[in-house]
Structure 1
Amino acid sequence: MSLLANGLAARGHEIFLITLASAEHDFYPLDQRVQRVGLEVTGNSAGMLGAVRANTRRVKVLRGSLRATSADTLLAFATHTNILAVVAAAGLRMRVVISERIDPAAHSEGPLWDALRLLAYQAADAVVVQTEKIGAWFRARLWRPGRVVVIPNLVLGAPRTTEDSAPLPAPFVLAAGRLVPQKGFDLLVRGFALAGEPDLHLVIAGEGPERPRLARLAAELGIAGRVHLLGNVRDLASLMQHARIFVLSSRYEGFPNVLLEALACGVPAIATDIDGVGEILLGGVCGVLVPAEDAPALGRAIARLTRDQPRREQLAAAGRAALRRYAPEPVLESWESVLGSER
């Protein structure tokens, strides 16, 4: 969201970035022209009745915030927020555009939320998805399939690195993301152990509830000394630029920005062949694709690519060339077209 908000603000649009959470702990920097509003209405709720009350309050607070802006268009991100946003904007004479960030064919939000998603999305003026595959899924299920639009994420090119960043001394494979089951880091740790490269290290940047489990798994596999869980990292670009290989081991994704960032940094990539990943890597032209949920395949791919420097250089060059499709100018123009269209 931050890249899109910053890009649109730089092109002269008035942007309000509203989140249900507080703005206090924002991780990504925002352009000073972006007006930031944190509603502070997140939190767990007990039982179905508690969830109904909590979401009713969120809708009420969000609706009040929308009324206070001068916005002509509401753009919402992520399934639960999309549903709440459609309800909150009802009757406000505001164009409603929602952006789905995952593949619903690969990941269910549960029967209730899945049903609410399809019901709410029928009322949106546009439904933006990140890949043609996800677009086809929604077009087959929405009453007005012409309102489904495919817009990929944008990438800014190789990010700047800070001077005080300290790359690990040993050759390492890098992965990054929240430590949750979706990201498949357990599969990556197992695959890394099977790769049989004793001089290679595995670095995982990110934080989350799976940390203790991943640490235990590395110890059980006898590779704890070569697996590094770094937590959240501000200067991920520096790690990417020093990594031998980047690995995306996810079980499902929408359109993983972190993979685009790795390609921009010139890192050869290995990724599970899920959702939009195959589109990003052009079916394997600019990265190695392996089956999902297959730790041995990950291990074999890591071992082969570690030993094949010409192949790594070829993939790095192909990856950088492929990023032209995600340059800011055409992606932002696509967003402007959707956000500014007539009702």
Structure 2
Amino acid sequence: MKISFFITDMSQGGGMERVTANLSNQLVSRGYDIKVVSLIQENPNLTYLLDNNVETLGLLKGKYNRQQQMAKRLLTQFLILRKLKNFLKSDSSDLFIAQGLLPALFLWLCGYANKTIVCEHFKYELYTNYFVLKLRLMIYKSMKNVVTLTDEDANKFIRKGIDAKTIPNMVPFKINDEISKGISCSRRILCVGRLENQKGFDLLINAVATIKDRMDGWEIHIYGDGSQKEYLTGLIENNQCGHIIKLMGYSNDIDYDRYAFSVVPSRFEGFSMAILEFMAKGVPVVSFDCPEGPGVLLKGEVGILIPPEDVDKLSNAILSMAENLELREKYAKRGLQRASKYAPDYIMKQWEKLLASE
């Protein structure tokens, strides 16, 4: 089967791009013919490694900026649509997979909705604009299928008359046999995510500011880049937390054994690849129980879940984990067990079952 993935920009370093790379590589290894098409591509090189047999293509060079002036954004969308129509005339794929609403919109406009599965990577309530919500429902009802990351989101689409199925993300690497070495000897805390409002690093900084006198010798390393870098740097300085909180920049080569535990302070998540990866590497997790992913992954005493955006409880949870080795070991071991449910072989069986039905 020939499958083309459509994504806004595969050269970015976010969770959607990583998931696309993982799924593409797994499908190629199982004999599928895979192509990954970026509607617009900012960087010449891709962040995540793709199998040599995965074909890649960028329709338009540049950056898709949702904050730019309406006229410029409409021009970019027109150029993408024209490029996409020309591409589709000669494409021989049996099936399209749209990674998110924007690629789904363009494929719908081109008349290929009945050939497309759309993957939702964010919570159902991400969009609040009435027009966008109505447009999404209209587009998704015409698609072959909608794949969500959680049953909660799938059920919300089903209640709207949309054929939706749940297939969670898979662990992108081999699951550790043992818990992280850093649990017993490190005084470092790990955070990974884009420096954007969604990821809630401002909440983390405010939480640490209230307990910094009790964090002697501890450091929090935040890996990622984004539009809030300057803002977060200032917030760290204003709260006099620079000796604890370090912005490390983007990295795709993190040594998980250097860390005692991890914190995920997001305001919302579709599923949270970060939590899944922390668990698979034997690193215990503290997270807000935000919609929708963290609760799915950590429920049943697999990690510390705290009410969304409750800064005081986040402070207490960080101290509890920092001061209790047995607690870190318990959650790390349970995390490894939970991560095994998201191993590639298990998740790919669900994908192959869906693809065989199309």
TM-score by length of 2: 0.85
Match of 1:280 in 2: 297
Q: Deviations over 1:209-257 (max 9, x none)?
A: 1111111111111111221101111212x1x221111111110110111
Instruction: Give the CA deviation at 1:337.
Output: 2.2
Letter in 2 for 1:67: K
* In the alignment, structure 1 residue 87 sits paired with structure 2 residue 104: no
Judge which range, 148-157 or 82-91, deviates more.
82-91
Q: Deviations over 1:266-313 (max 9, x none)?
A: 0000111021211111x2421110111121111110000111111111
Asked if the contact 2:187/2:260 (under 8 Å) is kept, the reply is yes
Structure 1 SS opposite 2:116: strand
In structure 1, distance between residues paired with 2:90 and 2:201: 42
Match of 1:70 in 2: 92
Structure 1 SS opposite 2:124: coil
In structure 2, distance between residues paired with 1:269 and 1:68: 47
Unaligned 5+ residue runs, structure 1? 161-168
Letter in 1 for 2:152: K
In structure 2, distance between residues paired with 1:128 and 1:36: 23
Letter in 1 for 2:110: A
1:107-256 aligned at under 5 Å gives the runs 107-108=126-127, 110-141=129-160, 143=161, 145=162, 147-158=163-174, 171-195=187-211, 196-236=214-254, 238=255, 240-256=256-272
Q: Deviations over 1:122-141 (max 9, x none)?
A: 11000000001111111111
Counting aligned pairs with the same residue, the percent is 28
> Alignment length, in residue pairs?
325
Letter in 2 for 1:340: A
Asked if the contact 1:103/1:134 (under 8 Å) is kept, the reply is yes
Asked if the contact 2:175/2:340 (under 8 Å) is kept, the reply is no
Asked if the contact 1:194/1:299 (under 8 Å) is kept, the reply is yes
Unaligned 5+ residue runs, structure 2? 1-19, 177-184
* In the alignment, structure 1 residue 99 sits paired with structure 2 residue 119: yes
Note the aligned Cα RMSD (angstroms).
2.1
- Runs of 4+ displaced beyond 6 Å: none
Match of 1:321 in 2: 337
Judge which range, 71-80 or 6-15, deviates more.
71-80
Structure 1 SS opposite 2:269: coil
Q: Deviations over 1:84-120 (max 9, x none)?
A: 22223438xx621000111122x22533322221111
Match of 1:11 in 2: 30
In structure 1, distance between residues paired with 2:91 and 2:30: 19
Return closer, same or farther for 1:337/1:276 CA change in 2, 3 Å cut-off: same
Letter in 1 for 2:115: R
